[in-house]
Each structure stands twice: as C-alpha cells, then as structure tokens.
Amino acid sequence: MKVRYQYRIYPTPQQVKGLNRLFGCCRVVYNDALAIVRSVPQGAKRPSNAELQKLVITQGKKTAERKWLADVSVVPLQQSVQDLGVAFKNFFESRSGKRKGSKVGFPRFKKKLNQQSARFVRTGFSLKGNKLELAKLGRFKVKWSRPLPSEPSSVTIIRNTAGQYHASFVVEIGPINIEPLRPSIGVDLGIKTFAFLSTGDRVESPGYNRLDRKTRRFQRKLARQVKGSKRREKTRLRLAKLKLKTANIRKDFLHKTTTQLIHENQVVVLEDLAVKNMLGNRKLARAISEQGWGTARTMCEAKASMVNDREVRIISRWEPTSQICSDCGFRWGKVALSVRSILCVSCGTEHDRDGNAAKNIEKSGLGLTQDSK
C-alpha cells in the first residue's frame, strides 16, 4: 500500500526564490486551465488533461505573458493540470453519489496566500546521499527524522502559511504484523476527556486553552490593521505560526492515540458522530472542533488497513449507548448531559456515564446483546 512520509527541508535564500517562482507557475497553470474549463459552454465536452497541458503549458510558453513558465521544470506544471483533473473527477463523483463523505464543491481558483505545493514524479527528482535534488532547483538539505522504507515514486514540496517547507514522499510499504493485546475495545469520544475506553481507561487530550487565547488575541489585532501593510503581514505570520503549533500538537496526540488503539486491539469500535451537525451548537463548537474526532476516525481506519488482522467498526449514531445499563441491559432513558454518574435501579450498579457508554459501544459493534448476564 502507498503511504506518505513527510520531512522538513531547509532551502537556501536562493532556493527559496526558486521555489516561490515554481509555486507561482504551478498556481498560474492551474488557474489558467480552470479558466479554460469554465469558459466551455454548458453541454459541450470538457478538454482532456493532455489538451489542457498543450494549451496552458506548451502554447503558453510561446506567448509574451507566460514565457517565464520555461524557467521552471515542466514536471510539476504537468502535475498541476493532473490535479485539476482529479478535482473535477471528485466533484462529478460526489454529485452522482459514487464518492462517500461530504459533498465536494466545484474546483476554485488557487490563491497566493494559501498553502502552496508542487509535485515531482521520478523524472523530476532524485536522492543524492542525504540530500534531495529537484530539477532546475538544485540539492536541498532534508531533516531525515526516520528512514524511507522504499524508493519514493513522487515527492510534493509544500510551503505552509507559516513559511515552512516540507517534502512529502509517496512510498510503498507492506502490511505490519503485530499481535493484539485484546480482542476488541469500545471508544466513547468526549470533550473534557478525549476518549473513555471500555477497559475503564481515560485518554486526556492536551490543553489548547493558552494557545487559543493567544490566537484569538492576534485575530482581533489582525482585523484592526490596514490591509497590505507590513505590520499586518507580520501579525498574519505570527497568527499562522500559532495555528500551526496548535495543529501540530493535536496531530501528534491523535497519531499516538490511534496508533496505540490499533496496535493493542484487534477490533476498535467507534460511534458514527455527526460532527458537522454538532458544530451548530455555538456554545460547544470550539471545544468540539479542537478535539478532532473526525480526524481520529480517519486515522484509525487508515492504520487498521496497514496492520494485519485489524478492523474498525462504526455503530449507528442512534444507538442508545448512554441510556442502557451495560450490566443488566435495563434502559433508563435519556439523562441530562450534566449527570456524570448513574445508579441502575434494576441491578444496583453505579456507572460512570462515559464508561458505561464505551462498554455499550463495544457490545453493539460486536453484535452482542446489552445484557451480559
């Protein structure tokens, strides 16, 4: 299976200029190709990727307005047109219902201030010792945090909004063999506690409050400053670094948590949470979005496919996991969210609300009855 390995790279000032030129060319090629497609009359056939490459790249280099496209490698320019084709494919499959998940919108023009990227295939890059060599850009210093498991088939150079550069390699890996410690586990996701496990353990999420307060303060400062000024750009960069730090902390925590869940358990059972609907509650929207429940589910499903004999099961969001005693199966009905401990009037067992829900999630995922007796 194919996976991505990402590393930080440190370009020289001259290489930064070259990368910025490359990002600009890729963005222009993508936008020009999208403009051509948008100009096609309704009902007419859309140009193919090969035709778009000929129109935008080959013929564009011959014009005075786009002759500078010849200053960069043609490989990432061709890949940029390929990306547009993938965007249209996802859009049409989403409209027809072939693509799962949320609806994909019509492709939009790329902006200069957003994250920038350029992809090289094997003809455009090579590994020379500990350095990465890119066509027409030279050799780059790479921070190899871990070795590549195999020869990469492509590399994407990324510049995030904080001005950092990364190289993302696509490599092929085989399945991993790890013996599970438990046959199954149920996971109840929450806000104050990120996850309560059916084993009785809690997984606490890192605190984002301090970074969130600083982020909101800089957002207010940015809104008051004059657009286009140097001070506003300085504030925008500091704000981007704060958001990146928060995202990195969350990503690191989710990776470690989901890896442990998949490695230690043969079957992981989760709830099908309607996160988008839950974000409509303006009192809890920030706290819910900070947890990254959707990302955690995606990571679990991806890592389960990488390890032999692992499975992630999703139960319906309408399962009354918080309304049933996990010991005797008695249903006490809906309970206010503020009630954290419940005493079953049938068997006399006192349950922690989240712990009881996690046990019921595991039973529902395994197809067992709620009454274990």
Task: Give the catalytic positions in this structure.
Answer: 188, 271, 354
User: How many other C-beta atoms are found inside a 10 Å radius of the C-beta of residue 324?
Assistant: 23
Pairwise CA distance, residues 71 & 136, whole Å: 8
3-state secondary structure 260-307: HHHHHEEEEEEECCCHHHHCCCCCCHHHHHHHCHHHHHHHHHHHHHHE
Helices (H) and strands (E) in the chain, counts: 9, 14
Answer positive or negative: Cα dihedral of 44, 50, 54, 57: positive
Pairwise CA distance, residues 202 & 367, whole Å: 24
The phi and psi torsions of 62 (rounded to 5 degrees) equal -85, -10
Q: Which amino acid is at 76?
A: P
Task: Tell me the CA distances in angstroms from 151 to 2, 140, 147, one per residue in order.
Answer: 11, 18, 11
* Residues in Cβ contact with 108 at an 8 Å cutoff, skipping those fewer than 6 apart: 34
Q: Under a CB-based contact definition with an 8 Å cutoff, are residues 133 and 127 in contact?
A: yes
Residue identified by tokens 């969130």 is 212
